[in-house]
Amino acid sequence: MQIQKNISLKKYNTFGIDVKAKYLAELSDESKITELISSLKENTDRYILGGGSNTLFTKDFDGIIIKNSIQGIKNIDEDENFVFIKSGAGVNWHKLVKYTIKNNYWGIENLSLIPGTVGAAPIQNIGAYGQELKKVFYKLKGFDLQKNEFKSFIFDKCKFGYRESIFKKEHKNKFLITSVTLKLSKKENLILTYQPVKDEIDRLKISKPSISQISEIICNIRRSKLPDPNKLGNAGSFFKNPEISEQQYLSLKNEFDDLKGFKNEFNNYKISAGWLIEKCGWKGKRTGDVASFEKQALVLVNYGNATGKDILYFAQNIKKSVKEKFDITLEEEINII
């Protein structure tokens, strides 16, 4: 396996940050993992990278970047109601979505056009427009970098939460996911909890939307409010939507009529981080080549020459403003390296 040295990571992260990694290895075959790991010194820092759409590099990386490029999509089992699809961790996420749409398998159509790879999906427990990865997750396989052995995780072992999992906490950079298996429905399973999706269906006068129509609507909504990372450097949502107590929510609602919240089973309310940022006056604000995107305050963008430290400093100032105005601490959704 070829290991590149002193390589620029600019094309490997969607922010377009030009930092260098001491080493970079592109992994396209899980059978090569043991060979790769055995070639490394024991104390070599490691960072596993998929599509680079959820990472902010703030400095050169003095270790090895393992670029997960394992491919392959196949049906491994099915019955009259469900199909089990196994995908290589390096497969582009939207490529997998398109495969399921082509075959009329329901469950991830609302997750259309989310950037990144399949292997990153369970790490982040990706979600959008009423769907969440954990609802269709069956199992995954990967390599324990500490014990040097392959291991499988079923749903109960993954500790899925809002935009998190065991792979983002205890097993962060200690477990290399090689494949993910999803359980999808062969029967129509519309999820229309997101009002703009329903509004678009009504506008188009679609009485019974197909899976491909739902995906197309989702893609159009995303394109209308989120910048294309191929044209404008970004990593999607920079912060998580915070959860606050019912008491704090009602207090804020009394002051801000336009605040919307979604109550969970613990009587806490999830509110929009984008709304908080916008209320603090950051939407569309630009400092140098860093800005809060004009159409979605939650997305921070790089207009070309911003460094990772520039973006981090900008984000920290946003957090400070939100804390001072609302007494709410925003938590980063992306990985900061």
Average pLDDT over residues 188-195: 87
Tokens 């600019």 label which residue? 10
CA distance 194 to 36: 44
Report the DSSP beta bridge partners of residue 336.
56
pLDDT at 225: 87
Q: What is the CA angle 271-133-31, rounded to 5?
A: 140
Q: Is 132 a catalytic residue?
A: no
Question: Catalytic one among 163, 179, 215, 292?
Answer: 163
Per cent of the chain over pLDDT 70 is 100
Token duo for residue 96? 């997998």
pLDDT: is 97 or 263 the higher one?
97
**pLDDT above 80 for 265:** no
Q: Is 333 a catalytic residue?
A: yes
Question: Catalytic one among 30, 132, 200, 333?
Answer: 333
State the pLDDT confidence band at 41, using cuts at 50, 70 and 90: confident
The dihedral of CA 147, 148, 150, 156: what is its sign?
Answer: positive
Average pLDDT over residues 35-59: 89
Compute the mean pLDDT over every residue in the chain, rounded to the nearest whole number: 93
**pLDDT above 80 for 7:** yes
CATH topology of domain 3-68: 3.30.43
**pLDDT above 90 for 155:** yes
**pLDDT above 90 for 178:** yes
CATH class for the domain made up of 233-336: alpha beta
CA distance 250 to 101: 41
The alpha-helical segments, DSSP class H, found in the chain are 33-38, 93-102, 120-124, 195-203, 211-225, 246-255, 273-279, 308-326
Q: Which of 97-106, 108-117, 193-202 has the lowest mean pLDDT?
A: 193-202
**pLDDT above 90 for 194:** no
Token duo for residue 37? 């790991």
> So where are the chain's domains?
3-68, 73-185, 233-336
**pLDDT above 80 for 1:** no
Q: Which of 20-34, 156-170, 181-195, 256-270 has the lowest mean pLDDT?
A: 256-270
pLDDT at 207: 85
State the pLDDT confidence band at 43, using cuts at 50, 70 and 90: confident
Token duo for residue 191? 């999820």
Q: Which CATH architecture has domain 73-185?
A: 2-Layer Sandwich (3.30)
Note the pTM of the prediction, 2 decimals.
0.89
Question: Catalytic one among 30, 237, 243, 292?
Answer: 237
